[in-house]
């Protein structure tokens, strides 16, 4: 930081405080000026590069905007107030303008959403198991062998670094279309992401229980099981539930590449139709995700609350 | 209970008495039953899931899968790979993430204030803004991408729009929370000098929240670079489109190469944004 020299007046008194302050301020600003200009140049260079690369030009944008609005117009359902709760008629046909007409395929959607939730549960369980297996080896304070530590860390990084949907694509290719590929992809991502969080929790545990277990002759696994796990379990459960919420979202979109769940249907209706079916599925997905979030939040609070008692 | 002198002097009655005096020290049978029941239900569920989702298929991978696995470790004809194409895709991904995050941050700067309780006193308006943000956030980025691909066609523009829309939802929420957590004193100080609402925001609020905003936008730039890869897989431009194109052409070694490059790019952005945060924010912003 620049030090301001304040020249004295002839009588030996300092100049008036306002001018001293202003001088100090300009000095500080000048010191930072060069750096700020550099950052601004970099920033605008980046911005121009981005605009050119993605062809984000006004005329294209205007065209795109009108098409987006047009599209959103076409996926709106045609609902009429007076017919809204009209059931099916004698021939089993729904009346146009009613909710039943909009959600003709409700049964199919619901069974797919059920499948999505089961996928999320299975993936969360498997992923948490994987994370549990990895997290102790990936904690600095618990794993003395730096090679195992290094590989555990890198392995978790790769698991969470590669996009879920790409892993799903590979598994669809290897094991065929269906929820299995989605489950495995989400589980692998979960193992990487939760493993990192678990390892961070592990790094903050108290050493005393571990030393105690070692003192009575416990091996490494016993130290982890009886020394570390009781300390970290509440946190693990909370993180696991949080991950479950994320996995419900992930499972609902992983079907885009054919890996099961509601995403497969969502992809189908978006790609092949542009009518109210798109919005029907979207609304269901959003409602499901919101409900699961609320439910899991209550469960989390319950678990945390219990621990504090 | 009589004092025990040696261990062999313990009678069955003594043990029973000690047990009943300290019920919790020897394990609560109801609690342990509950734990066993929980574990049992997890295993029953997993067994059900393994059958329901046909996990047996893992052990009979197709011919292609073995070829894929081989190609991951053996790279062939590396001189014929179109590197220019690959790196243009990576640049496109970075551009999408940057532009999307930047535009979303600009919008969130305004919307964040509109959704903050201590700025907009009028509840109905604030709640309307928040519910709209919830919708933006509730629909996944990938779904937005699919919708925009359908609306504006294949290419990076759809990706930018998808990142833009979904980030408006998340960033505005985070920004408004930052605004709600400011220190009132500074705002009152500015207001007491007779400043109007615009100046109060500029000198009272912005200096407090700008570091937090910058830090959050940088985090989003990083996470968007990651997710922009997935956006390409549904057709929204960038490296993802190259990945899926190579994948369809069964050039798996190139897919692995591209993915490694993306991981490196993300690591670089992570590092740069950490530096920028340190530079501008120091220890303040998380």
A164 and B CB contact within 8 Å: yes
Q: Give the position of tokens 């190469």.
A: B257
Q: Does A169 touch chain B (CB under 8 A)?
A: yes
The span from the CA of B96 to the CA of B88, in Å, is 12
**Contacts with B, A 59-78, CB within 8 Å:** 60-61, 63-64, 67-68, 70-72
pTM of structure: 0.81
pLDDT at A1: 47
Other Cβ atoms within 10 Å of A68 Cβ, number:
18
What's the ipTM? Answer: 0.79
Tokens representing residue A227 in the block: 């020394």
Q: Is any Cβ of chain A less than 8 angstroms from the Cβ of B140?
A: yes
Query: Do residues B251 and B216 lie in contact, with contact meaning Cβ atoms separated by under 8 Å?
Result: no
By C-alpha distance, the chain B residue nearest A271 is: B150
From the list A178, A270, A289, the residue facing B147 with the nearest CB is A270
Phi, psi of B4 (to 5 degrees): -90, 125
Nearest to residue B221, comparing CAs of B167, B264, B173? Answer: B167
Secondary element (H or E) of residue B272: helix B252-281
Q: Over the stretch B275-285, which tens digit does the pLDDT of each residue have?
A: 888 877 665 44
Q: Which residue among A54, A175, A286 sits closest to B95, beta carbon to beta carbon? A: A54
pLDDT in tens, A170-222: 888 888 888 999 999 999 999 999 999 999 999 888 999 999 999 999 899 99
Sign of CA dihedral A58, A59, A65, A71: negative
Instruction: Mutation target for A interface from B140, B217, B242: give the one with most A CBs within 10 A.
Output: B140
| Cα A286 to Cα B117: distance, rounded to the nearest angstrom | 25
Note whether B132 contacts A: Cβ–Cβ < 8 A.
no
Beta bridge partners of B131: none
3-class SS at A7? Answer: coil
Min mean pLDDT across A94-103, A246-255, B203-212 is at A94-103
Which chain A residue's Cα is nearest to B142?
A253
Select from A53, A114, A306 the residue whose CB has the most chain B CBs within 10 Å, as the one to mutate to test that interface: A53
Check residues B6 and B265 and name the one with the higher pLDDT: B265
Under DSSP, is residue B6 helix (H, G, I), strand (E, B) or coil?
A: coil
- pLDDT tens digits, residue range A49-93? 988 888 788 888 888 888 888 888 888 877 777 766 666 666 666
B:29-48 residues touching chain A, CB 8 A cutoff? 42, 45-46
- CB of B49 less than 8 A from some CB of A: yes
User: What is the tens place of the pLDDT at every residue in B122-139?
Assistant: 888 888 888 889 888 888
The span from the CA of B240 to the CA of B229, in Å, is 5
Alpha helix locations (H) across A162-226?
A: 164-175, 179-202, 208-215, 220-222
How large is the average pLDDT for residues B48-66? 81
Q: Is B161 at the interface with chain A, CB within 8 A? A: yes
| Residue A130 pLDDT level (bands cut at 50, 70, 90) | very high
Q: Are A261 and A182 in contact (CB under 8 A)?
A: yes
């Amino acid at each position: 930081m620049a030090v301001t020299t304040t020249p004295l007046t002839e009588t030996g008194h300092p100049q008036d405080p306002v001018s001293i302050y202003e001088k100090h301020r300009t000095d500080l600003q000048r010191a930072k000026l060069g750096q700020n200009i550099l950052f601004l140049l970099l920033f605008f260079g980046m911005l121009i590069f981005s605009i050119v690369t993605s062809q984000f030009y006004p005329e294209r944008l205007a065209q795109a905007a009108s098409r987006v609005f047009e599209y959103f117009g076409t996926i709106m359902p045609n609902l009429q107030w007076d017919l809204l709760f009209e059931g099916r008629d004698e021939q089993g046909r729904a009346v146009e303008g009613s909710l039943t007409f909009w959600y003709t395929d409700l049964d199919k959607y619901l069974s797919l959403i059920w499948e999505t939730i089961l996928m999320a549960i299975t993936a969360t369980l498997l992923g948490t198991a994987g994370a549990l297996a990895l997290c102790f080896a990936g904690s600095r304070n618990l794993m003395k062998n730096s090679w195992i530590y290094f590989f555990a860390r890198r392995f978790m990084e790769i698991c969470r670094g590669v996009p879920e949907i790409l892993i799903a694509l590979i598994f669809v290719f290897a094991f065929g279309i269906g929820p299995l590929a989605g489950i495995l992809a989400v589980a692998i991502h979960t193992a990487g992401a939760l493993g990192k969080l678990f390892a961070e929790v592990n790094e903050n545990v108290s050493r005393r229980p571990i030393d105690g277990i070692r003192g009575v002759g416990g091996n490494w696994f016993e130290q982890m099981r009886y020394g570390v796990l009781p300390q970290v379990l509440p946190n693990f459960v909370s993180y696991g539930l949080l991950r479950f919420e994320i996995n419900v979202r992930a499972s609902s979109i992983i079907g885009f590449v054919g890996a099961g769940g509601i995403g497969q249907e969502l992809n189908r209706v978006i790609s092949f139709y542009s009518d109210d079916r798109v919005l029907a599925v979207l609304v269901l997905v959003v409602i499901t995700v919101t409900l699961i979030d609320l439910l899991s939040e209550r469960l989390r609070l319950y678990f945390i609350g219990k621990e504090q008692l | 209970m009589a004092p025990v002198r040696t261990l062999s002097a313990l009678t069955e009655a003594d043990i029973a008495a000690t047990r009943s005096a300290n019920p919790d020290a020897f394990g609560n049978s109801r609690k342990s039953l509950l734990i066993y029941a929980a574990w049992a239900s997890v295993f029953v569920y997993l067994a059900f899931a393994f059958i329901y989702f046909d996990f047996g298929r893992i052990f009979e991978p197709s011919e292609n899968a073995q070829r894929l696995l081989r190609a991951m470790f053996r790279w062939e004809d590396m001189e014929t790979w179109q590197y220019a194409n690959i790196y243009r895709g990576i640049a496109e991904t970075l551009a999408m993430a940057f532009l999307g995050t930047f535009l979303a941050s600009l919008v969130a700067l305004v919307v964040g204030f509109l959704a903050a309780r201590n700025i907009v006193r009028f509840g109905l308006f604030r709640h309307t803004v928040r519910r709209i943000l919830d919708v933006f956030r509730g629909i996944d980025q990938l779904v937005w991408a699919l919708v925009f691909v359908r609306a504006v066609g294949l290419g990076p523009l759809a990706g930018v729009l998808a990142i833009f829309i979904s980030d408006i939802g998340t960033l505005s929420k985070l920004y408004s929370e930052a605004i709600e957590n400011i220190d009132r004193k500074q705002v009152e100080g500015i207001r007491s000098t007779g400043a109007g609402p615009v100046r109060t925001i500029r000198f009272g609020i912005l200096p407090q929240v700008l570091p937090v905003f910058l830090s959050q936008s940088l985090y989003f730039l990083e996470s968007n670079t990651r997710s922009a890869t997935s956006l390409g897989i549904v057709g929204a431009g960038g490296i993802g489109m190259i990945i899926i194109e190579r994948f369809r052409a069964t050039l798996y070694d190139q897919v692995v190469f591209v993915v490694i490059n993306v991981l490196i790019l993300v690591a670089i952005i992570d590092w740069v944004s950490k530096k920028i945060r340190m530079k501008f924010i120091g220890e303040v912003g998380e």
